[in-house]
Structure 1
Amino acid sequence: MSTDFDWRSEYANLLDWLRDSGRTQWHDQLEQRLSSVFETHPHGDLPRWLAALNQLPRIPGPEADLDQPTVTLRSPGALSHEQQDQLEQGLRGLMPWRKGPFDFFGTHIDTEWRSDWKWDRVRPSLSDLRNRNVLDVGCGSGYHCWRVLGAGARRVVGIDPGMLFLIQFQAVRGYLDDPPAHLLPQRLEDLPHQLQLFDTTLSLGVLYHRRSPIDHLIELKGTLKPGGELVLETLVIEGEMGETLMPEDRYARMRNVWFIPSVPTLERWLQRAGYRDIQCVDVTRTTTDEQRSTSWMQFQSLPDFLDPEDGHRTIEGYPAPRRATLVARKPA
């Protein structure tokens, strides 16, 4: 593990790809963004997070297993007690860990979310990911980016403005040999309009945080090549066409939840946004086994957000979280 984070080196491969793909606008914007977040206007906690990252021990010849429920790093030999202590301290310095799970050389990170359960619901409906360029919007710490890469994608780009997520992603990436996977501290709206660069775009757990959900769907369509595939996972309610829940204030104690549609309404939104071949492939109620506090995420979680007398309602009295996965295509 490098003792410094050289963002120019870490992102050189991606920046070259953007330039070679003719996406010079995004190339230039991204260079400016990375310079800002790492040099001119860094997050106040960035030095602490980088110190934790740099505490992770050097381990020669590590191997990665990215195609299993737990994203796993392995060492060809046993770690010393000193290395195990350094690993534990460094990884705990990057808490809270929300999306996972991960295993770093025998140190298991039991994240707040069992993101592998979501992947198991999404994966069967995806096209063959081999040799595809994939964008993961709102990717968090990048768990699904690693699973996509493990499924054979040519290149994976995750975007999320959270800087802690980026450093958690680098904790994995730093042990690999410059894999074609990057996490960018950007929002979807920061990307150039009509990018048309990706074969598959994932938007998992993002739509309900958008004040204008149809604009979000149109922006997602702009990231795709003609004929490209959108995989959308979001909160839904049971209901008919036209029914949508707009919380008065908070939903499950989250302030930034705007619209929770019924599945038929969501399908209509996708159709109006210009998608075709729209399919709802899964609807699943979120349980307290899938989202909960752990020793790696010690803040409140879903059990604290539900009505203690009725687990089918949120603490505010709304229907408890239910999530749908839809797959749709951009016209060729």
Structure 2
Amino acid sequence: MFNDFYQRILTSKVAVWIHQIPGLLADWQANQRHGEFKQWQKTLSHLPKIKPSDIELSGKVRLGQANDIAPGQLKRLEVLLKQFMPWRKGPYELFGLEIDTEWRSDWKWDRLISHISPLKGRTVLDVGCGNGYHMWRMLGEQADLVIGADPTELFVMQFTAIKEYCKSDDIYLLPLGIEQLPASHAFDTVFSMGVLYHRKSPLDFLQQLKAQLRVGGELVLETIVIEGDQNQVLVPGERYAKMRNVWFIPSSAALCHWLQRTGFKNIRVVDEGLTSLNEQRKTHWMENESLADFLDPEDQSKTIEGYPAPRRAVILANR
């Protein structure tokens, strides 16, 4: 399953991974836990074999045109892709079929792309990449090699489905967490978007991100924050916005202080604002609860638990 990846990294900046990553991925393949994994693999094998007439990854993720595919095949494609619901990151367009995901991840991309170092020719890591939407946008910016890391098996299946129609030797998703990745000190850019608040030890997490960057490499960190000074950090109770696994939500100033303490340089906040109900919402491709259900119906400036509503910031730093 990963032989192409091994061949690709041998000639890349992260060739050092070849000594440890194969063992980690072999262990993952031997211990896949999700009960639907085999069914998902069968679903992948039944996807229509269609070659897109063109591919767009720069302004959006669009594969092919409506006239590339017969109506019956298009309906079959929709039915099969819905077996991988919920679709959270996107949107995607395949042969005229719109996958309207929970998140308008393209809006987040638009907020940060003008601030980061150009990705052309760079080796890029996306930690907690979900189904890989932003990875395709990175490839659209002419990154040389894009590697994502996310242990959620459903996201791996969604990424694999998209890659079925956008075959490339320069993009891969590894079903691993950041704590499993050997330190490489090699990536030009490391992205971490929507992960920090899920970590019990955020400073250790920042060190793990730093260990993947070359000297001078750029960290793109996007996360939930609160308003306040560098000493302001929210430690919620059992749930925040109905999420159980939220541990620390710092202010932007506090997060910048954490980055400074962990050795990052040139730290700057390039975007900050509240998450809107238009950016995160239920769709026909994600029918579970979404942001509107997580907020106080009487006061949308607060979560259902009474905490400040999700506010997101993009912070850049260099190793």
TM-score surpassing 0.5?
Answer: yes
Letter in 1 for 2:226: I
Alignment: residue pair count: 319
Q: Which runs of 5+ in 1 are unaligned?
A: 1-6
Q: Displacement, 1:55?
A: 2.1
Q: Counterparts of 2:317 and 2:237 in 1: how far apart (Å)?
A: 30
Q: Specify the alignment match of 2:193 in structure 1.
A: 204
The sequence identity of aligned pairs, in percent, is 48
Q: Please say if residues 219 and 316 of structure 2, whose CA atoms lie closer than 8 Å, have aligned partners that are also in contact.
A: yes
Spell out, residue by residue over 1:299-330, the C-alpha distance to the aligned partner (whole angstroms, 9 max, x if none): 00110000000000000000000001000000
Q: Displacement, 1:64?
A: 1.5
Spell out, residue by residue over 1:213-232, the C-alpha distance to the aligned partner (whole angstroms, 9 max, x if none): 11111110110011000000
SS at match of 1:303: helix
Matched, 1:278 2:267: yes
Matched, 1:53 2:54: no
Q: Please say if residues 36 and 42 of structure 1, whose CA atoms lie closer than 8 Å, have aligned partners that are also in contact.
A: no
- After TM superposition, the structure 1 = structure 2 runs for residues 1-332 of structure 1, keeping only pairs within 5 Å, are 7=1, 11-21=2-12, 26-39=17-30, 41=32, 43-69=34-60, 71-75=61-65, 77-193=67-183, 195-330=184-319
Q: Displacement, 1:262?
A: 1.0
Q: Please say if residues 56 and 63 of structure 2, whose CA atoms lie closer than 8 Å, have aligned partners that are also in contact.
A: yes
Letter in 1 for 2:154: L
Q: Counterparts of 1:23 and 1:113 in 2: how far apart (Å)?
A: 31
Q: Please say if residues 120 and 141 of structure 2, whose CA atoms lie closer than 8 Å, have aligned partners that are also in contact.
A: yes
Q: Displacement, 1:288?
A: 1.0
Q: Please say if residues 90 and 103 of structure 2, whose CA atoms lie closer than 8 Å, have aligned partners that are also in contact.
A: yes
Spell out, residue by residue over 1:67-98, the C-alpha distance to the aligned partner (whole angstroms, 9 max, x if none): 123x1111484421221122111111111100
Q: Displacement, 1:176?
A: 2.4
Q: Please say if residues 61 and 76 of structure 1, whose CA atoms lie closer than 8 Å, have aligned partners that are also in contact.
A: no
Q: Displacement, 1:177?
A: 3.3
Q: Displacement, 1:183?
A: 0.4
Q: Please say if residues 272 and 314 of structure 2, whose CA atoms lie closer than 8 Å, have aligned partners that are also in contact.
A: yes
Q: Please say if residues 100 and 109 of structure 1, whose CA atoms lie closer than 8 Å, have aligned partners that are also in contact.
A: yes
Q: Counterparts of 1:64 and 1:124 in 2: how far apart (Å)?
A: 23
TM-score (norm 2): 0.95
SS at match of 1:152: coil
TM-score (norm 1): 0.92
Q: Please say if residues 198 and 245 of structure 2, whose CA atoms lie closer than 8 Å, have aligned partners that are also in contact.
A: yes
Q: Which runs of 5+ in 2 are unaligned?
A: none
Q: Specify the alignment match of 1:3 in structure 2.
A: none
Q: Displacement, 1:140?
A: 0.1
